Chains A and B, each alone.
Chain A
Amino acid sequence: MMMRTALVLLTGILLSSCKTIDINQLASAGGTLKQAFVPAGEAEESDIGREAAAVLLGAAPLLQDEQVQVYVNKVGMWLALQSDRPDLNWRFAVLDDADINAFAAPGGYVFITKGLLARLRNESELAGVLAHEIGHVVATHHLVAIRKQARLKLAGMAVQAALEERGTDTRQLQALAGGAKLIYSRGLDRKDEHHADRIGVVLAARAGYDPYGLVTVLQTLERMNPEAGELGLLLKTHPKPADRIAQLDRLMGRQLDGLTDSALGEERFRRQLAHLSNP
């Protein structure tokens, strides 16, 4: 699996940056010629996603609470089923971190911190957050950004040196992990965040939830003191909540007001988290 990622990345780098390379050299560097031409696709996305998810889980541990973890998977999977990519290997998880944030990684990984979870009021708000992250995955925002960063890192090495180096796989994985760290600590392009907001609202509405869940979460963030430590990384890596609300307000207009039978899921949300109030 790692070898495949390495080959796909290496192939991409070589084809894009060094057109005169001898193809036999390429094949001998990484394995067989056949392997070298495995097309970049969902396998590559899955490999990169696993590495990116490993970086996030290396920075913050999983919350040790099976009930809550399974709950977010049930809600998340139902939302993912409304997307264009229902067949990805979707994995949802709560991070044991008091800060307010959520993350996505390529291939179907979605994380929410317990700090954000604890500030939500109902399941439609949870749906809004998870659907925003699903939006990043579906639109391959992190995949494109991490791949670009990994290529830049690898391009820093002489191509010849990379070919002759033993342990090329390790270098490729380091480049991927490095790219993921850069993207998660500095954030995506702001237009990707607005794009994920648009997708998120639609997925939550398609799933039967109150379409305003994401908007009301953003209003919760907006009212918090921006100097509060819990919001540090989120505000550093995302557009201002007010700007995100303004975009959604402008684009949603009243076209989603006609949806009937929208669910807030307040009861169920409270029930699923009740045991956490008295740990």
Chain B
Amino acid sequence: MARILLLIVSLFASGLVSGADSGTISANTQLYQQPDGSVSGTLLANTLVEISQRRGGWYQVSASGGRQGWVRLGAVRLSGQQESDSVFSGLWGWLNSGYSVQSGGTATAGIRGLDAGDIESASADHTAVESLDRFAVDKQAARRYAASLPLRARQVADLKERRK
């Protein structure tokens, strides 16, 4: 419970402070004026940055000394708690509801995690596997649901590990 409270407090605090995400440059990286625009400088590893937005594979950042621009997504290691605009904060209660464990005739709720021991000692539950059919959707339903977003299928080449 103490951990949950602490997290709620820190989420709240980060929202009050800036509402923006922050991070650290993980390795020396080029700073661009625009995504894929001209290079305006270099941010050194471990530079602290504030992130104002993401556009595709780019983060718009500002660093100390007024340096602003865009860096590649993979160049930034995010820090601190997840930003407060995620649905996360609203789902704390749900997460906290955890398992309902019948214990001595009373139901107690609490967080419990799935660890290696739980898997090793598990008894195969074939009935639960059968029950998955209840939620299955067919291809047509999936296509209609995708179209309603809208999502459109497109050609994208495989990502291949390059030979060294």
Contacts and interface: CB of A to CB of B under 8 A. Distances in A.
Interface of A: 50-51, 53-62, 66, 69-70, 73-75, 77-78, 81-82, 86, 90-93, 95-99, 101, 109, 113-115, 118-121, 123, 173, 177, 181, 184-186, 194, 198-199, 201-202, 205-212, 215-216, 219-220, 222-223, 229-230, 232-233, 236, 242, 245-246, 248-252, 254-257, 259, 261-263, 265, 268-270, 273-274, 276-279
B74 interface: yes
Contacts of B126: 50, 54
A92 B56 CA distance: 27
A54 to B, nearest CB: 4
B137 A74 contact: yes
Given A77-B142, A98-B112, A223-B80, A201 B159 contact: yes
B141 interface: yes
A230 B159 contact: no
B118 A59 contact: yes
A68 to B, nearest CB: 9
29 contacts: A50-B126, A54-B128, A54-B129, A55-B119, A59-B119, A69-B134, A77-B141, A77-B142, A86-B139, A91-B133, A91-B135, A109-B129, A114-B95, A181-B122, A186-B116, A198-B160, A199-B158, A208-B146, A208-B150, A208-B154, A223-B23, A223-B81, A236-B116, A248-B74, A251-B159, A257-B35, A257-B56, A269-B87, A273-B91
A96 B96 CA distance: 11
B152 A208 contact: yes
A78 to B, nearest CB: 4
Give the residue among B111, B131, B132, B138 with the most A Cβ atoms within 10 A: B132
Given A114-B94, A251-B161, A261-B152, A78 B145 contact: yes
A57 B129 contact: yes
A257 B121 CA distance: 45
B64 interface: no
Contacts of B79: 223
B84 to A, nearest CB: 11
B129 A53 contact: yes
Contact of B120 (A185, A215, A256, A270): A185
Contact of A279 (B56, B97, B146): B97
Interface string B142-164: 11011001111111111111100
B33 interface: no
Interface residues of B, number: 77
A58 B151 contact: no
B73 A212 contact: yes
Contact of B156 (A95, A206, A215): A206
A232 B113 contact: yes
B93 interface: yes
Contacts of B113: 97-99, 115, 229-230, 232-233
B129 to A, nearest CB: 5
A119 B128 contact: no
Contact of A81 (B81, B114, B139, B162): B139
Contacts of A252: 57, 159
A119 B115 CA distance: 19
Contacts of B116: 185-186, 233, 236
B154 A206 contact: yes
B98 interface: yes
Interface string B88-118: 1011011111110000000000011111111
A142 to B, nearest CB: 13
A215 B156 CA distance: 17
Contacts of B149: 123, 208, 263, 265, 268
Contact of B135 (A66, A78, A236): A66
B68 interface: no
A247 to B, nearest CB: 8
Contacts of B159: 198, 201-202, 248, 251-252
Contacts of A74: 137, 141-142, 145-146
